[in-house]
């Protein structure tokens, strides 16, 4: 329980996002199309969080690493929950896209 709370607050083990991407992780940006068009991480996939459950077929390999991101980290946390509840095993909340981009 304590580890879950730590992870939710970003106090858990540090994740090396650059390594995950080098190993083939998908960066899933869950902002709206307009937000995404105003700036995004090169190579990321855009599916808004409200459309994610309907578009899981875009991610057929449930063991593939996925890093979610959005504007601040709230929607990406929701997206992580959606993916995990649908059987995706390697999902990380990358938080805000600009912060995530600086870690790559």
Other beta carbons within 10 Å of 7: 13
The residue assigned the tokens 């593939």 is 64
Q: Which listed residue (67, 69, 70, 79) is catalytic?
A: 70
- The answer to whether 70 is a known catalytic residue is yes
- DSSP H/E element including 93: strand 91-96
The residue assigned the tokens 């899933």 is 28
Active site residues: 70
């Amino acid at each position: 329980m304590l580890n879950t709370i730590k992870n939710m607050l970003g106090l858990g083990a540090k994740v090396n996002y650059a390594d995950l991407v080098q190993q083939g992780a998908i960066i899933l940006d869950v902002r709206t199309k307009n937000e995404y068009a105003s700036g995004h991480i090169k190579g990321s996939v855009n599916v808004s969080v409200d459309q994610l459950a309907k578009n899981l077929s875009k991610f057929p390999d449930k063991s593939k690493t996925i890093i979610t991101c959005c504007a601040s980290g709230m929607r990406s946390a929701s997206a992580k929950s959606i993916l995990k509840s649908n059987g995706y095993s390697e999902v990380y909340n990358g938080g805000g896209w600009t912060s995530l981009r600086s870690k790559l």
